Amino acid sequence: MKAAFAKYTLDFINPAGTSRGTLLKKDTYFLKIWDEQCPERFGIGECALFKGLSADDNDSYEPKLRELCRNIALGVETDLAEYSSIQFGLETAILDFSNGCRRVCFDNDFARGNYQIPINGLVWMGTKDEMIARIDEKVAAGFHVIKLKIGAIDFGQELEMISHIRSRYSGSDLTIRVDANGGFTPGNVMERLNRLAEYSIHSIEQPIKAGQWEQMAEVCDKSPIPVALDEELIGITNPMMMMSLLRTIRPHYIILKPSLMGGFAGSTEWLKMAAQFGIGGWITSALESNIGLNALAQWVTTLQVRIPQGLGTGALYHNNIPSPLCQRADYLCSDPNRGWQLPEFNWITE
């Protein structure tokens, strides 16, 4: 077997605002594997590095990709325990290759175009008026669940925005999830959660910064809004540590991004452990291109999900990879009549 990788820069159509800053571009990497006897047929996966968030965001990232490509050629295993996004890319490339190099990682109803995944509409941070307009657009497009990024602009304005939305859309008409990305502090979090609770909020992701287990446990215990962990899970791969975190914090939900949480294998482990504590959850993308999103959607289908997932990110980029993925109202689906159009990547073997 041979392997190569390529760097690719995705350009956002609109600036993507979070409490950690505004995103205009996102670098990602693609990994392909093939048999030397038939180089035109290859499996491809996305190593969806997320700068500033991924635990594997360091100077050794590309050297690790080079090491992986060398080792695949030699038939030697590579230690990827600390490189979650590379693990995700390798898993998906192998699965694609094993399923006939058709961009099919899991040959199921989604891949065949016979199943649609319910998704939430993502509303990035902006001014109050901008966010209200974006919410209206999502509702007009058919979304019944929206996720609001909060924690960057004035909290009073955010409350005014949510109040305005609730005056137009009741809790039965529109479910609101909010994501603070760790934007609150232990000192102000309970006051803010109590105020948000007035507006029938479904859940809040990561209200305070990760790494404060005791404070987060207290928030989960006292919050009037169900709390979901997101960044808190990143970089934790040791099963004993995973179990300890869940036992200590006892969140209501966990939000899994396989690219950041040990790929499919690591995410499956999180789900199994969470189930032991009666903790629910859902899957979201880490802003992958359509290559990664396609693999995620096929994997999510194997989980037989019933609640909206965070997979509505395919239309974020000017230069996304043309694919069978499409969005119909608040569902992600795959149209087999639409093929893949992979650009000419600058492949690096080692």
| CATH number of the domain encompassing residue 55 | 3.30.390.10
What's the mean pLDDT in 307-316?
86
Q: Which residues pair with 31 in a beta bridge?
A: 5, 45
Lowest mean pLDDT among 51-60, 71-80, 265-274: 51-60
pTM of the model: 0.94
165 φ, ψ (degrees, to nearest 5) = -65, -45
251 and 283: one domain? yes
In the three-class reduction of DSSP (H, G, I as helix; E, B as strand; rest coil), residue 8 is classed as strand
CA 297 – CA 277 distance, rounded (Å): 26
What's the mean pLDDT in 74-78?
95
Contacts of residue 207, defined as CB under 8 A and 6 or more positions apart, other chains included, come to 180, 182, 183, 184, 189, 192, 193, 219, 223, 227
In the three-class reduction of DSSP (H, G, I as helix; E, B as strand; rest coil), residue 279 is classed as coil
pLDDT score recorded for residue 318: 92
Residue 314: pLDDT band with limits 50, 70, 90: low
CA 346 – CA 146 distance, rounded (Å): 37
What's the mean pLDDT in 88-100?
98
140 and 85: one domain? no
pLDDT score recorded for residue 113: 96
Name the nearest CA neighbour of 288 among 22, 6, 86, 10. 10
Amino acid at 188: N
pLDDT score recorded for residue 347: 94
Which one has a higher pLDDT value, 155 or 20? 155
CA 235 – CA 131 distance, rounded (Å): 31
Which one has a higher pLDDT value, 188 or 127? 188
Residues 28, 89 contacting (CB under 8 angstroms): no
Name the nearest CA neighbour of 335 among 318, 314, 350, 317. 314
Enumerate the active-site residues: 149, 257
Q: Over pLDDT 70: what percentage of the chain?
A: 98
> What is the number of domains present in the chain?
2
pLDDT score recorded for residue 20: 63
pLDDT score recorded for residue 124: 82
pLDDT score recorded for residue 151: 79
Judged against a pLDDT cut of 90, whether residue 121 lies above it is answered with yes
CA 92 – CA 65 distance, rounded (Å): 15
Amino acid at 37: Q
138 and 33: one domain? no
CA 285 – CA 279 distance, rounded (Å): 20
pLDDT score recorded for residue 156: 92
CA 257 – CA 88 distance, rounded (Å): 10
252 and 184: one domain? yes
Judged against a pLDDT cut of 90, whether residue 150 lies above it is answered with no
Contacts of residue 298, defined as CB under 8 A and 6 or more positions apart, other chains included, come to 104, 105, 106, 108, 110, 111
Token pair of 148 as six digits: 């609001």
> What's the Cα-to-Cα distance from 14 to each of 124, 186, 269, rounded to whole Å?
10, 32, 35
Indicate the residue among 51, 66, 98 that finishes a domain: 98
50 and 190: one domain? no
Does residue 144 lie within any of the structural domains? yes
pLDDT, the chain, mean = 93
Element (H, E) at 228: strand 227-229
Indicate the residue among 71, 98, 125 that finishes a domain: 98
Residue 16: pLDDT band with limits 50, 70, 90: confident
Give the model confidence (pLDDT) of 277-299 as tens digits.
Answer: 999 999 999 999 999 999 999 99
Judged against a pLDDT cut of 70, whether residue 274 lies above it is answered with yes
Does residue 110 lie within any of the structural domains? no
What's the mean pLDDT in 60-65?
96
Domain extent at residue 67: 2-98
What's the mean pLDDT in 30-54?
93
Count of beta carbons in the 10 Å neighbourhood of residue 211? 11
121 and 60: one domain? no
Token pair of 149 as six digits: 């990024």
Name the nearest CA neighbour of 6 among 58, 45, 60. 45
Rounded to the nearest 5 percent, the helix, strand and coil shares of the chain are 35, 25, 40
pLDDT score recorded for residue 19: 56
Give the model confidence (pLDDT) of 191-246 as tens digits.
Answer: 999 999 999 999 999 999 999 999 999 999 999 999 999 999 998 989 999 999 99
Does residue 80 lie within any of the structural domains? yes
Mind giving me the DSSP string for 103-139? S-SS-STTTTT---EEBPEEE-B--HHHHHHHHHHHH
CA 129 – CA 110 distance, rounded (Å): 37
62 and 199: one domain? no
37 and 183: one domain? no
Judged against a pLDDT cut of 90, whether residue 59 lies above it is answered with yes
175 and 322: one domain? yes
Name the nearest CA neighbour of 65 among 43, 53, 80. 80
Q: Are strands 175-179 and 201-205 parallel, antiparallel or unpaired?
A: parallel
Name the nearest CA neighbour of 311 among 289, 332, 290. 332
Q: Which residues pair with 44 in a beta bridge?
A: 32
Which one has a higher pLDDT value, 253 or 21? 253
CA 304 – CA 320 distance, rounded (Å): 27
244 φ, ψ (degrees, to nearest 5) = -65, -40
pLDDT score recorded for residue 18: 67
pLDDT score recorded for residue 236: 92
